[in-house]
Amino acid sequence: MSKRQKAEFQAIKAFGLAGALAVTLSSAATSPARAFQDEGTIILCSIEPLSGIGTSFGQPNYLGKVIAVDEINAEGGIEVDGKKMKIKLISEDDQAKPDQGVPLFRKCAESDNALVITGTQYSRVTESMWGLLQKKLDDPKDGGLQVPSMSFLSMKAGVTGVSEWAFRNAGDEPAQHELAIKLMEERYGPFKNYSGAVEANEGHSVAAWKAAYTPALDRRNIKATEYVEWYETDRDFSVQIRKLKRANTDFFILSSHLQANVGAMLEAQRQGFKPKTIISHIGSDAAEMVELGKQSTEGIVFPTAIHMAFPAPKVKWLADEYKKRTKETYMPQFVGLGYEGIMIVKEAIVKAGIKNRPETLAADRRKVRDQLAAIRDYKSFAGMTLNMNANRDIVRPVYLVKITGGDFKLYWTPEKGFLF
Amino acid sequence: MLDVTNLTVSYGAISAVRNVSLTVKAGEVVTLIGANGAGKTSIVKALSGLVPKASGATKFRDTDISSLPAHEITRLGLVHVPEGRKLVPSMSVEENLICGAYCRTDKQGIADDLDAVMARFPRLRERRHQLAGTMSGGERQMLAIGRGLMAKPELLILDEPSLGLAPLLVEEVFNIIAGLKQEGKTILLIEQNALEALNSSDRAYVLRVGEVVMSGQSDKLAEDPELRRAYLGVN
Amino acid sequence: MPPDALLSPTPHMRGVDQMYFFALDLTQTTIDGLLFGSTYALVAIGFTLIWGLLRILNLAHGVTVMVGMFAGMLSASILGLPFYVGILIAMSSGAFIGFLIDRICYRPLRNAHELVPMIATLGFWILIEEVFIKIYSHFWFRDYVPFANPFDGIGIDIGEIRLRTDYLVTLAVAALLVVALYFLIYRTRLGLAMRMIAEDHDIGNLMGVPVGKVLTIAFLLSAAYGGAAGYLLGMTANLAGPYAGSQAVVKGLFSMILGGAGSIPGAIVGGLTLGVLELQSSFLFSFAYRDAIVMLALFIVLIVRPQGLAGKRMADRI
């Protein structure tokens, strides 16, 4: 081999080694795949963004699930066919990328033989993953996967419409924001200039604008005075904030996630842009909003499903567990949704009467799916009653949170109204 | 001063130069002549370290330079003025000359040599701040040789200095070489122009397809009928 | 899609006000773009150094930016060190990465085909970024971590135009680094060596330049500049995130091509222009089409002036 050929071979080796190392490292952070279902355990899969963009939503959600699984296993497991079986929770990291999430979903369904696949967060990934599922039940022409899957977070309106095997426990966004806008108007209105900022390359934020905020404005015969967009990875928001400021915005709709929100709000602070009211969605439910945003994010209001100030004692217990494991003092709703979600799945499994043997996997999956679809008057650990609607979305009451004094304070409940 | 024994240079599977041996003594002007592709440039590139040798021993002033990197060979005093000149077009005449003195540290010596080169090539002095890229072919060749001299060479290798030049300029180049010879400089001259090369040198080696086919005193070789037929176009 | 498609006027204001604000905002946006573009210029300079000397695109350059950002974050937010110390730390960390890139991606492969070291830098980039993200997620529970910005909130007001202090500092640092680079290249022996090598490696070899050593220095220099850019990018956004490297590569390459590949003035012009282009296309047209407009501008420039905005035509070899 000539010197040149040797060097080329070296390069290919080096590159291949680098690639292999990268792949190994990416999968080393997650648990290795189990080939077959253990007869002694129930296999659940959990797919979310555990690193990269989306860590702030994926990690809390995942931890909520882990806490739930640990609690169930500590009591011996789930009652199945006369005996108690422990849960094995297989965790995967999709890094908020559809091209990573889709193969992981397939792996969970086909090689891990999971009974239920839970996940994920970013709607673009959830939709792609659920695209693998059979669309309509009992359709002989559809060779899609037949595994019940439930997301405890993906907020994009109507995302469960992709398949009859797909479920969601997150909340009805259009209803949430209609309520939020209505309450703010009653309390602080009337407003003159409603403006919106949308994270243009993020599916959920765009969908929220189209399906939740715009219809709400239309119902009030209001046209947005100013409309700006940015990307979740942007670093400069000066043009957008200036436009909002020029429009004398007093009602500001922030349909965007924390990554951009922090930057945008800091810029707003710099330019002295202070609207009377700011409404955002669950993308603002992350400690970074106050840790990185500091004063600039004061006053932001967003809807929540579960808040750590709820009276139910189990909620405080969960917040303490979360704090023990992460040293975080604030527990975002995703933790509770993850915990609750596992509990909901557990109940569905118990009611389904599965056998949990390799040969009964397909039948078991179908039974669990049907139980999930039939959830009625489920009493959540957080105190409220939940029902699964015809679109396979869990219907739940809405609460509002306001960032006040550097803290996420529970602001409004259906029972008590405004708390301060 | 220079001893080359059994030099072989290969590019991949092709050997451009096979088992070539030659010597250059101090004060001599030795020339390598041969047709295009005979391997002349490959030999000097291997000597100056620009291309690797496949095999062979090279000794320069009692130092084995067979495995030395190019920049160290230059610092020993073996200065190669390359084929095509390889000047830096975006630098001025003066800057290009300073480049030649890169590995020297004697400020005064460099300044003196700069003056000497300008004196030898008055046209360069006229254009000392002009960009090298805007100069004519003949001027560039002078600049290249001047740059080589700035390195204070013990042995100066001139690779195809007359290539691409008009006949009048060719004459000028060989006048310069004659001048250098008179000053006692040791030169290894690579040339396609066999007639002028033989006239300017003491000894010559004739290369064909990578091998030395003839060697000896230049004036004797110039009278060799076979050589005259092959390289001087004489019948 | 937004309520108003391509141009976004402000119909709610009076005509005169509208014009005044428009002119004002146009000026402000241009200034912001120039100031912010200086970070792009710094990144582009890093690319240019390696491209000019080696004719390879150092795709691992973004890693130096990311490392500089995080070293700066550690220095500024966690250790609370002053700004000028932080920049030096960021540049040193960047330089260290540059050293690695030289030793791993270039040196062992320099005898191979010219594309091979470039592919190696690609592998380096992917590998280090993946490893970094994993380590980062292990330590921090966050997408971003705070980067202390001591100049935040203060600025100089000229009438209604605001010059942010942190942006001015960025421009000052970038300018200082550029001047230093010019001094190095045109007034030192090392610079002379680099200019020789940039023309042809053989010239360097024949003049007695230890080419390998000088190239290592070039990698260190390029990477140090990348590290400085990382620090400034983190500081002005108040955030450090693990994807900064990838973003930097894209912006830096665009800047270099826009301004004229292989020339330092080109990198500077390209970086500043890109900064202005990005902000102006957001301001004048639509945010959604911002990237498309920038690409279109790049495309047009390359058709009309293929050597880039500030590039020189390819000179004949002599």
Looking at the partner chain, which of C28, C36, C123 has a beta carbon nearest the beta carbon of A236?
C36
Report pLDDT for A158: 82
Q: Nearest CA of chain C to the CA of B228: how many Å?
A: 33
Q: What is the pLDDT of residue C315?
A: 43
Q: A: neighbours with 3+ CB pairs under 8 Å?
A: B, C
Do C237 and A225 make contact, defined as CB atoms within 8 angstroms? no
* Tokens coding C44: 């582009």
Q: Is pLDDT at A167 greater than 90 in this prediction?
A: yes
pLDDT of A18: 58
Question: What is the structure's pLDDT at A171?
Answer: 81
Which residues, at least 6 apart from C281, have a Cβ–Cβ distance to it below 8 Å?
C289, C290, C293, C294, C297
Encode pLDDT of B54-81 as tens digits.
Answer: 888 899 988 888 888 889 999 999 999 9
At residue A306, the pLDDT reads 92
Residues within 8 A of C (CB atoms), A 49-78 only: 50-56, 59
Structure tokens at B206: 């004739």
Mean pLDDT value of segment C162-167 = 86
Which residues of chain C from 225 to 254 reach within 8 Å of chain A, CB to CB? 233, 236-239, 241-243, 247
Domain spans, chain A: 34-171+312-388, 173-304+400-418
Report the alpha-carbon angle C292-C298-C300, nearest 5.
Answer: 100
In the 8-state DSSP scheme, what is residue B131?
B
Contact partners, residue A228, CB within 8 Å, separation at least 6: A195, A196, A197, A198, A239, A240, A243, A244, C287
Q: Do A259 and C144 lie within an 8 Å CB cutoff? A: yes
pLDDT band at residue C245 under the 50/70/90 scheme? confident
pLDDT band per the 50, 70, 90 thresholds, residue C11: low
Q: Does A234 touch chain C (CB under 8 A)?
A: no
| CA-CA-CA-CA torsion sign (A95, A99, A103, A108) | positive
Q: Tell the CATH topology of A173-304+400-418.
A: Rossmann fold (3.40.50)
Instruction: Give the CA angle between residues A126, A128, A130 to the nearest 5°.
Output: 65
Confidence at residue A32, expressed as pLDDT on a 0 to 100 scale: 39
* Per-residue tokens: B87: 């000047």
Question: What pLDDT score does A39 carry?
Answer: 61
Distance of alpha carbon C204 from the chain centroid: 28
Residues of A with CB under 8 A from a CB of B: 2-4
Query: Is the previous residue joined to A120 through a cis bond, with omega within 30 degrees of 0?
Result: yes
Query: A201-244 pLDDT, tens per residue?
Result: 888 889 899 999 999 999 999 999 999 999 887 888 989 999 99
CA distance A82 to chain C (A): 41
pLDDT interval class at A29 (50, 70, 90): very low
Question: CB within 8 A of A311, min separation 6: which ones?
Answer: A383
Q: Which residues of A touch B13 (CB under 8 A)?
A: 2
- Name the residue facing A11 among C116, C134, C164 (closest C-beta): C116
- For the domain made up of A34-171+312-388, give the CATH fold: Rossmann fold (3.40.50)
pLDDT at C316: 35
| pLDDT number for residue A10 | 59
Coarse DSSP helix, strand, coil percentages of chain B, rounded to the nearest 5 percent = 40, 30, 30
Binary contact (C137, A55; C-beta < 8 A): yes
pLDDT of residue A25: 52
Chain A: nearest CA to C64, how far in angstroms?
A: 18
How high is the mean pLDDT of chain A? Answer: 87
Provide the shortest C-alpha distance from residue C138 to chain A (in Å): 9
pLDDT in tens, B203-234: 999 888 888 888 888 888 888 887 877 777 66
ipTM of the complex model = 0.87
Helices (H) and strands (E) in chain A, counts: 13, 17
> With bands split at pLDDT 50, 70 and 90, how would you rate the model's confidence at A192?
very high
Q: Is A39 helix (H, G, I), strand (E, B) or coil?
A: coil
Chain B residue with Cα closest to A2: B12
Q: Could A4 and C282 be called an inter-chain contact, meaning their C-beta atoms sit closer than 8 Å?
A: no
Whole-number Å distance between alpha carbons of B112 and B98: 12
Tell me the per-residue pLDDT of C61-73, one tens digit each, with 9 for 90 and over.
999 999 999 999 9
- For A95-129, what is each residue's pLDDT tens digit? 888 888 999 999 999 988 999 999 888 888 999 99
Query: Strand B14-24 and strand A116-119: pairing?
Result: unpaired
Confidence at residue A6, expressed as pLDDT on a 0 to 100 scale: 58
Three-state SS at B9 = strand
CB contact under 8 A, B71 and C199: no
What element of type H or E holds A44? strand A41-48
pLDDT at B157: 93
Q: Is B76 on the interface with C (CB under 8 A)?
A: no
Classify residue B49 as left (phi > 0), alpha (psi -120 to 50) or beta.
left
Alpha carbon of B80: minimum distance to chain C alpha carbons (Å): 7
Q: Tell me which residues of chain B have a C-beta less than 8 Å from any C-beta of chain A.
A: 12-13, 52
Tokens of A251: 């009602």
Alpha carbon distance C16, C25 (integer Å) = 14
Closest CA to B51 of B83, B88, B98, B87: B83
pLDDT category of residue C166 using cuts at 50, 70 and 90: confident
Q: Do A2 and B52 touch (CB under 8 A)?
A: no
Residue B92 pLDDT exceeds 80: yes
Average pLDDT, chain C: 85
What domains lie within chain B, and their CATH numbers?
Answer: 2-77+153-232 (3.40.50.300), 90-151 (no CATH)
Contact C33, C21 (CB under 8 A): no
* Through-space distance between the first and last CA atoms of chain A, rounded to whole angstroms: 79
Q: How close, in Å, is residue B11 to chain A by CA atoms?
A: 9
Q: Which chains touch B (3 or more CB pairs under 8 A)?
A: A, C
